[in-house]
Structure 1
Amino acid sequence: METNPRDYGERCRFDAFCKTVLKHEAIDYIREMKRRANREMFLERLPQAAMDKLWSADDYPSDSYVFSYCGYSLPIRSQQVSDAFAGLPEQEQSILILRLVLDLTDSEIGKALDLSRSAVQRRRTKALNVLRTKLTARKGG
C-alpha cells in the first residue's frame, strides 16, 4: 500500500486542527479555574458573620403546641408560654387567638363572641397581664 501525498497532507492538517482545538480547550479550562478561584471561597475561610447567615432551622409541626378556635390555630413553640396560655379561660384564649391570628379589632371580636368592645378589650388586657405575670414569675424564680 502506498500512501498518497494528498492523504498525508490531509492527515497533517487534521492533526494540526485537533491539536489546536485541544490547546484552546486547555486554555478555556485554565481560565475557568482561575475565574472560579477568584469568585469561590472555601467555607473554612469565611468570616464568622458570613457563616452565621448560612444556617437554617427545621420547623416541624410537632415542635409547637397548637391552640385553636373556630378552625384558626395559634402555634406556640415555647412550652412555658403554652402552659401559661393553657391556664387562661377558654374565652380569653379565643379572644387572643382571634386578635393574634386574624388580627381582628376588639369590635370585630366582640361581634364574633357576642360581647361588647369594652368587654373584649378588658378581657384581652387581663389575659395579657396574666400571661406576663406567669412568664415573668417563672423567669425570676
Structure 2
Amino acid sequence: MEQSSSRYEQTIRHQFDRICKMALKGEKVDYIRHMGYRQKNEVMLSELPEKELNQLSIMDEYKVENHYFQVLGYDIEVKDALIAEALQSLTEKKRNVILLSYFMEMSDADIAREMNLVRSTIHEHRKRSLEMLKQIMEGSTDEKKM
C-alpha cells in the first residue's frame, strides 16, 4: 500500500511538473509575441526625431513675461527679455526699423513707405541697429558669465 501511495504522489508530482512547464512555455511564447509587437509598433522617445518630439510637448506661455512695442499702429510682441532690453536702448527710429523688419517681416521699401523715409536710410538704420544690438547683447552676456 505504501508503494502505491508513493507511486501516486510521484505521478501527481510529474503531472504538476508537466503543467508548470507547459504554463512557462506558454508565457514564453506570449512574451516573445509581445516583444515583437513592441519592437514593431513602439519607438523610444530618445530615438524620435526632434521635430516629432517637439510635437509631443506643450510649453506654457504667459503674456506677462513678454514685452510689447507699439510701432506705427502695430503691437509687436517680443518674447525674449534680453532682446527686449537691447531694443529699449536703441533710438525710436532704429528700434522701429528692427521691429518692423524682423518681427513684422516687412521689406525695406515697405518700411520706408510707412515711415516716410528713403529705402537706403532704412537699410542704414537696420545695419547700424544690428551692430548696436550685437554689442549690447554681447556685453550683457559677458556680464552674466562673471
TM-score by length of 2: 0.59
For 2:75 and 2:99, how far apart are their aligned partners in 1?
7
For 1:46 and 1:105, how far apart are their aligned partners in 2?
44
1:11-90 paired onto structure 2 within 5 Å: 38=37, 46-50=44-48, 53=53, 54-90=56-92
Identity between Structure 1 and Structure 2 (%) = 19
Give the gaps of 5 or more residues in structure 1: 1-33
Amino acid corresponding to residue 86 of structure 2 in structure 1: A
Quote the offset at 1:91 in angstroms.
Answer: 1.1
Quote the offset at 1:103 in angstroms.
Answer: 2.0
Quote the offset at 1:49 in angstroms.
Answer: 4.1
For 1:111 and 1:78, how far apart are their aligned partners in 2?
28
Q: Is the 8 A contact 1:106 1:117 kept in 2?
A: yes
**CA 1:77–1:102 in 2, change beyond 3 Å: closer, same or farther?**
closer
Asked if residue 136 in structure 1 is aligned to residue 134 in structure 2, the reply is no
Quote the offset at 1:126 in angstroms.
Answer: 0.8
Q: Is the 8 A contact 1:67 1:75 kept in 2?
A: yes
Amino acid corresponding to residue 139 of structure 2 in structure 1: A
**3-state DSSP of counterpart to 2:76:** strand
Q: How many pairs are equivalent? A: 104
TM-score by length of 1: 0.60
For 1:63 and 1:111, how far apart are their aligned partners in 2?
32
Give the gaps of 5 or more residues in structure 2: 1-32
1:97-136 paired onto structure 2 within 5 Å: 97-136=99-138
For 1:99 and 1:118, how far apart are their aligned partners in 2?
14
For 2:65 and 2:132, how far apart are their aligned partners in 1?
24
Amino acid corresponding to residue 111 of structure 2 in structure 1: I
Quote the offset at 1:68 in angstroms.
Answer: 2.1
